Amino acid sequence: MEKIIEAIIEGGKATTGPPLGPALGPLGVNAAQVVAKINEATQDFSGIKVPVKVRINKESKTFTVEVGSPPTAELIKKELGIQKGASSKESAAGDIAIDKLVKVARAKKNSLGKSLRETLKEVLGSCVSMGITVSGRNAKEILKEVDSGKHDSLFAG
């Protein structure tokens, strides 16, 4: 018999308090071990909220931890070191290099894109929505360049 606990946790900062502790306690699994495993698995997402699933075998008291992908906007904000996107169309929230956006695209596990190029286009779309420029230019211009193959060298490796 398997029980699944889902929670949104700040990367590397899970605790045995709510929401995990109260959910884990009645199942007889070592909550400290679960939290340590979650923190280990989410340390790269420090400062970002990430979805986590803990699958617990109620008979053997064993567990597995699955870490989802944070929202694209959260990854972009982390790369830029900002708290939120632009509040108006007149001012950009920040400027990011395209190679950093490729890094964000690689981190997206739940993307609908079938390739890194398609995922990068999703990330660029988020930049448009957030009012973020890419290498000093409008993200829509960069989107067109990605479509035309101008940035294909970024997808190697």
Q: Where are the domains of the chain?
A: 2-67, 72-155
Is the confidence at residue 34, as pLDDT, over 90?
Answer: yes
Please confirm whether the linkage preceding 19 is cis (ω < 30° from 0). yes
* Environment class of 28 (CB within 10 Å of its CB; exposed 0-12, middle 13-18, buried 19+): exposed
The superfamily (CATH) of domain 72-155 is: Ribosomal protein L11/L12, C-terminal domain (1.10.10.250)
- What pLDDT is attached to residue 157? 59
Q: Output the pTM of the full model.
A: 0.67
Q: What is the mean pLDDT of residues 4-21?
A: 90
Selection from 65, 66, 60 nearest residue 1 by Cα: 60
Give the pLDDT confidence of 62-108 residue by residue, as tens digits: 999 999 888 888 888 888 888 777 776 667 778 999 989 988 888 87
The CATH number of domain 2-67, selected from 3.40.50.10490, 1.10.940.10, 3.30.1550.10, 3.40.50.620: 3.30.1550.10
What percent of the chain shows pLDDT beyond 90? 35
